[in-house]
Structure 1
Amino acid sequence: FLFGQVMRICRRRGHVLLLAGDERTAMRWHADGFHQRSRRASPLVHSAPVHDAREIAGVKAARPDLLFLSPIFATNSHPGARPLGPLSFNRLAKLGSSGRIIALGGMNRRNAQMLSPRLIHGWAAIDAFKKKTA
């Protein structure tokens, strides 16, 4: 069971594990939190995906711990999505409460350096962590 394997690795390394789904399922699976656009507060770590000002305003009442703001740059996981770019990202990040924003979408170390460290808590990626094959 893949989730169990990932959970064991996270626990060993001291990482927080969020389940993409609802709070009830995250509790049942013993995740540390959940990743879903929700309108209610939770005792678990709660992250929410946001892409524009309307979505940021829509989740504010639930006070999620983290907002995953995306896509910042072009990304393989959403090939047709129009990236925000650093300027729009900075404008939207200010709406979402500094320190709670996770940058996502085409992120790597080089791209992360283009974003204001005062506005983000960190960045997340998929392709940046894939093993390169020759």
Structure 2
Amino acid sequence: MRRARVPTHWLFTDERLGGPAPGDPLWAAIHRLPRGGGIVFRHYGLPADQRHALLQSVLALARRRGLLVLGAEIGGTPGGRHLPGHARNRHRPMRGLLAAATHDRRSLLQAFRQGADLVFLSPVFPTRSHPGGRVLGPVRFGLAAAGATGPVIALGGMGPERLRRLKPLGASGFAGIDCWLA
């Protein structure tokens, strides 16, 4: 936590949430995040100009709500940067936090060695984002997170109830998409 306090509640954005229209689920999800929460802005499928315009709208709302925003493969996010698992450029952002996507203990340890301030470890439970995909489950999550040198945020099928189960196993917080829609 070299640069800022790390939120414990996170929203990952994607095209399923919509965004450009005021009634899209993205805006309700952002409003459900508690003050001090975080957003990982992705929306990879949008054309660059639309993606940047949406990011500016998300940043404006996040400022008003006291939320931190990390950009995934997009510049202009003062909160920092999120490195997806496929990211090749692992340089620290000029300011803010550096987060990394991890899927096992090896990638988690490597991310912290390379300077990540926090990691998202996933998928912990089944998720609509990756139907039928292999999940860690609580035991493998705990084994991967054990002794981590920074915050480990659980991602994949998460919500507040599941976070309570994972905190004793090393979860510092949780992230999701669908959990912010209900």
Counterpart of 1:14? 66
1:130 aligns with 2:177: no
Aligned to 1:48, which of 100, 113, 127? 100
Counterpart of 1:113? 164
SS in structure 1 at match of 2:165: coil
1:33 aligns with 2:80: yes
* TM-score for both structures, normalised by structure 2: 0.62
> Contact between 1:18 and 1:33, CA under 8 Å: does it hold in 2?
yes
Structure 1 counterpart of 2:62, one-letter code:
C
Q: Distance in 2 between matches of 1:62 and 1:44?
A: 16
* TM-score for both structures, normalised by structure 1: 0.82
SS in structure 1 at match of 2:179: helix
Shift of 1:39: 4.4
- Shift of the 130–113 alpha-carbon distance from structure 1 to 2, 3 Å rule, reads same
Percent of aligned positions with the same letter in both sequences? 36
Structure 2 counterpart of 1:69, one-letter code:
L
Q: Which has the higher contact order (CA 8 A, sep 6+)?
A: 2
> Superposition pairs for residues 66-105 of structure 1, below 5 Å?
66-97=118-149, 100-105=151-156
Q: Distance in 2 between matches of 1:114 and 1:30?
A: 32
- Shift of the 33–96 alpha-carbon distance from structure 1 to 2, 3 Å rule, reads same
> Contact between 2:145 and 2:169, CA under 8 Å: does it hold in 1?
no
Counterpart of 1:63? 115
Q: Distance in 1 between matches of 2:174 and 2:161?
A: 12
> Contact between 1:51 and 1:71, CA under 8 Å: does it hold in 2?
yes
Deviations 1:59-84 (A, max 9, x none): 23222111000001000011132111
SS in structure 2 at match of 1:114: helix
The runs of 5 or more residues in structure 2 that have no matched partner are 1-52
Counterpart of 2:28? none
The runs of 5 or more residues in structure 1 that have no matched partner are none
Shift of 1:117: 4.8
- Shift of the 88–64 alpha-carbon distance from structure 1 to 2, 3 Å rule, reads same
